[in-house]
Amino acid sequence: MSAKKFIAGIDFGTSKIRCLVFDINSNIIFSHSTLTPIIKHKSGFEYHPANEIWNSTKKILKLCFKDSIIQKGEIKSIACSSVGESGIPIDNKGKVLFDPMIWYDPITNNLKEKLLKKITRYKIYNHTGLNSNPFFSAYKILWIKKNKPKIYKKIFKWLSISDYISWKLTGVIATDYSQAMRTLLFNAKDKKWSNFMFNKTNINKNIMPEIMPTGSYLGIINPKLSKELNLNYSCVVGLGGHDHFVGTFGLNGYKNGKIIDSLGSSESITVNTNKFIKNKNLFNNNFISGVFVTPNRSNYYVVASILTSSLVIEWYKSLINIDKINKINKINKKNGVVKNIFTFPQFRYGHSPTKNMSNSRGALWGLDLMTTKEDIYVSIMECLCFDSKHGINFIIKNTGQKIKEILCSGGASRNKIWAQIRADVLNKPIKINRNAENVSLGTAIMGALAAKIYKDEYDVFQNIKLKNIKIRNNTKESKKYNKIFIEKYLPSIKKIDELNNIILDNN
């Protein structure tokens, strides 16, 4: 009897490194994970120790290959995806020169302000499709150049974390378009590195890898590593990419009329467009426009970013010592914004649409002596959904896209209370993908494309049947929320930037 054919996807996330193994019909066979290593440096910034990243990945892979034997199968392909802005510089001998800063670390904010004295925010957007947030890779490279000049001079290549893991597996250095997008050094419209941005930043263009489509063939796991992993057959490694956009592909999300609302620590609302769209309204309100390239086609999108999404919910649960959502009782629709309790959940960054993405704080408004912890909990969920609605409405207005379907994914989509509120606030039925690990699935598909397990990306979704749960909105609740959204939320959210400027300037 021939061995069963499995495909695997490694997802390096903010909180976990995980590897999921699927059959070719997308059924999860088994998985292994570990906490993402994060260390806070005495100077203040947070980073992932590169050696621990690799050692943790190897341990997970060893367990996966061992379990595949138990399941009488072989993992024929693998790919890796990760957060996009963190990077690992290596020298020409493959030595790690500097551990990657955590993607959201604000330590680079001063460098952003310095660059904006040389080039306007709009020119950055016009060349890259991105806003000028300080967490993009270019600013991390500039930080190293300023603070660790000897290290900067030794940089041979700058690798995203997913590219670093792929390189360790195969010895091949490459990146995909979705990771290149997150550097602030890539021209999304022309689909190539931006000479303009390299000239303005004075970053050496040669340290950036070759760009290839996501799902490209990189090679097989090298013999020495195969022996270490107790792997006695060939496993193809394909090129992965940025977690949100690979996950969008895994949900067949690059289709016109479809919104993918990826719910995790941060929220990414991706609207597929049939061409590259950018304009001043999108720019002024901190939306990004980009491209995701697979072996068969180029997929364009506009994204609304809600960078403190379930992070705020987890913060609140921790604050009141509640570990599980179902331990909060007495949740009902009479709480929250109906009682004029509003949460502004921009705790670390602004949420698009906003004029001020990088300098923000959150707020709770409307509290009185009768306010309960349940009122605040519901308000947080409702106002996060108001932020989502605001972003979606803005994209529709400024791109002319017609929305036929909203598909939610990610670990936070499992929150049933939040999901129903989301459908009611958006005033549309929503679908919840039952596979909360869509990033791992999308990543595994990329490895399988590289291994020719699927003929092409169109063949993928002939084999994979997505399992979604439909949540219908309650018309009465939707009307109530829409009235509050128009009459209370929108006038209030316009004041957030002004209040932030007053408060933060005083500090």
Euclidean distance between CA atoms 368 and 363, whole angstroms: 15
> What is the reported pLDDT for 116?
92
- pTM for this predicted structure: 0.87
Q: Helices (DSSP H) in 400-456: which residue ranges?
A: 416-426, 438-450
pLDDT recorded at residue 498:
79
Are 127 and 42 in a shared domain?
yes
Same domain as 159, residue 44:
yes
Asked if residue 373 belongs to a domain, the reply is: yes
- Pairing mode, if any, of strands 430-433 and 405-409? parallel
User: In this structure, is residue 259 part of a structural domain?
Assistant: no
The answer to whether 181 touches 242, Cβ cutoff 8 Å, is yes
The token pair that represents 73 in the structure block: 């199968």
225 and 118 in one domain?
yes
CA distances in angstroms from 335 to 235, 284, 338, 387, listed in the order given: 53, 34, 6, 18
The letter for the amino acid at 167 is: W
DSSP structure string for 88-118: EEE-TTS-B-SPPBPTT-GGGHHHHHHHTTT
Q: Are residues 320 and 180 in the same domain?
A: no
103-126 core/surface letters (b: 16 or more CB in 10 A; e: else): bbbbbbeebbeebeeebeeeebbe
**Which pLDDT value is given to residue 349?**
80
Of how many residues is the chain composed? 507
Residue with tokens 């020719």: 452
DSSP for 201-253, written as a single string: HT--GGGSPPEE-TT-EEEE--HHHHHHTT--S--EEE---BHHHHHHHHTT-
What is the pLDDT at residue 467?
85
pLDDT, position 331: 57
Where do we find the tokens 């947080």? Answer: 380
Q: Is residue 103 part of a domain?
A: yes
The per-residue pLDDT for 174 is 98
Q: What residue numbers bound the domain in which 489 lies?
A: 310-393+475-506
Look at residue 90 and tell me if it is in a domain: yes
Residue 13 shares a structural domain with residue 135:
yes
Residue 196 lies in a domain: yes
pLDDT in tens, the chain (507 residues): 688 999 999 999 888 999 999 999 999 999 999 999 988 877 777 889 999 999 999 999 999 999 999 999 999 999 999 999 999 999 999 999 999 999 988 889 899 999 999 999 999 999 999 988 888 999 999 999 999 999 999 999 999 999 999 999 999 999 999 999 999 999 999 999 999 999 999 999 999 999 999 999 999 999 999 999 999 999 999 999 999 899 999 999 998 889 999 888 889 899 999 899 999 999 999 999 999 999 999 999 999 989 889 889 889 988 887 655 445 545 555 578 999 999 999 887 888 998 777 678 889 999 999 998 889 999 999 999 999 999 999 999 999 988 889 999 888 888 889 999 999 999 999 999 887 678 999 999 999 999 999 999 889 999 988 889 999 999 999 999 999 999 999 999 888 777 877 877 644
Together in a domain, 237 and 346: no
221, 241, 261 - which closes a domain: 241
User: Quick check: is 462 in a domain?
Assistant: no
Say how far apart CA 265 and CA 103 lie, in whole Å. 12
Co-location of 80 and 224 in the same domain: yes
Instruction: Kindly state whether residue 184 falls inside one of the protein's structural domains.
Output: yes
Q: How far apart are CA 99 and CA 39, in angstroms?
A: 10
| Together in a domain, 493 and 344 | yes
What is the number of domains present in the chain? Answer: 2
Rounded distance, CA 347 to CA 375, Å? 19
Instruction: Determine the pLDDT at residue 507.
Output: 47
User: Are 224 and 369 part of one and the same domain?
Assistant: no
- What CATH number does residue 180 fall under? 3.30.420.40
Residues 79 and 211 in one domain: yes
- For residue 30, what are the contacts with CB-CB under 8 A and spacing of at least 6? 21, 64, 67, 71
> Which among 172, 199, 174 has a CA at the least distance from the CA of 187?
199
Residues 206 and 353 in one domain: no
Residue with tokens 């990760």: 82
What contacts 158, CB < 8 A, 6 or more positions away?
87, 88, 89, 137, 141, 183, 207, 208, 209
In a domain, 501, yes or no: yes
Pairing of strands 16-23, 4-12: antiparallel
Same domain, 103 and 187: yes
- Closest C-alpha among 405, 133, 416, 465 to residue 263: 416
* Number of helical H runs and strand E runs in the chain: 19, 23
> Looking at residue 410, what DSSP letter applies?
S
